Structure 1
Amino acid sequence: LLMDYGADVNPVHSSGEYGNPLQAAIFKKDEAIIQLLLDHGASVNQTGGRMGTPLQAAANRGLESVVRMLIHKGANVNAPAGGEYGTALRAALANNYEEIVRFLLQCGA
């Protein structure tokens, strides 16, 4: 509803838990909201918050389908975005998500 009334899906918030609405939806593991935000132009490479990028957040939460979706939409697999782990690969490694690690390595991480 907010997006229908012009809410910005890419506000810039570099501090706090979430850097943007997409990262918040990923943290909550809400794939319907993730898809909705992407359909409304949410940036897959926007940085900020505790996880740095949406890809790093998805790797941290173990959301393999979201990791794949973000990369398909153009997420930079090697984005040095800071955050808790620095990269999506490190987030996946730290949380023992082997399938995500394999996929990220196949994508050039």
Structure 2
Amino acid sequence: GKVNVNSEDGYWRTPLSFAAEGGHEAVIKLLLKTGEADVDSADQWGGTPLSFAATGGHEAVIKLLESHPHIS
């Protein structure tokens, strides 16, 4: 469909950052599979999907994000 995987809320958070924060590995896989998800996106305080996953201790999500070719 026509879904913007990089849509942002009022604090610049994206679906990927919310999924990473919650440790939702299956959702992250779906978002990354689109080839459109910005893994380096940052919210207004500098939080990234990787930092949210790390703060939550979501090791599987961290590995997914770190293995993505566009992570900085």
Structure 2 length-normalised TM: 0.82
Match of 2:39 among 54, 72, 77: 77
Instruction: Check if 1:100 corresponds to 2:61.
Output: yes
* Percent identity over paired residues: 29
Greater radius of gyration (CA) = 1
1:1-109 matches, within 5 Å, as 39=1, 41-49=2-10, 52-73=13-34, 74-80=36-42, 82=43, 86-107=47-68, 108-109=70-71
The alpha carbon displacement at 1:50 in A equals: 5.3
The alignment yields a C-alpha RMSD, in angstroms, of 1.9
Structure 1 length-normalised TM: 0.56
Structure 2 unpaired stretches of 5+:
none
Structure 1 unpaired stretches of 5+:
1-38
Distance in structure 2 (CA, Å) of the matches to 1:55 and 1:76:
8
Runs of 4+ with deviation above 6 angstroms: none
Structure ranking higher on relative contact order (CA contacts 8 Å, 6+ apart): 2
The alpha carbon displacement at 1:85 in A equals: 6.4
The alpha carbon displacement at 1:49 in A equals: 4.0
